[in-house]
Amino acid sequence: MRFRPRAWVSWGLTASFLLALASGVWISYPFREELPLISTVGIETVIPFGAFFRAFHFYAGQLTFLLLLWHLVEALWARAPQRRSLRDWFLLVLSLPLVTLALFTGYIIRGDQTGFSAGQIAEHLALRVPLIGMYVNRLLFALSESGVHRAFMAHVYLSVIVFVVAGIWHFRLRALRLDDLLLWALGAGILAFFWPVKLEAETFVPLIKGPWFFLGVQELLRHLPPLWAGVVFPLVPLGALLAYRSFPYWAGVFLSLWAGVYLVLTCLGAWR
Question: What pLDDT, on a 0 to 100 scale, did the predictor assign at position 2?
Answer: 44
Tell me the torsion sign for CA atoms 75, 77, 79, 83: negative
At CA 64, angle to CA 16 and CA 28, rounded to 5? Answer: 70
d(CA 245, CA 80): 9
**Below-70 pLDDT ranges, the chain:** 1-7, 167-176, 201-207
Question: What pLDDT, on a 0 to 100 scale, did the predictor assign at position 139?
Answer: 92
Question: What pLDDT, on a 0 to 100 scale, did the predictor assign at position 191?
Answer: 96
- Our CA dihedral for 58, 64, 67, 71, rounded to 10 degrees, sits at -160
pTM of the complete model: 0.90
Q: Are 90 and 46 in contact (CB under 8 A)?
A: no
Question: What pLDDT, on a 0 to 100 scale, did the predictor assign at position 201?
Answer: 65
Q: How many CB atoms lie within 10 A of CB 138?
A: 15
Question: What pLDDT, on a 0 to 100 scale, did the predictor assign at position 89?
Answer: 87
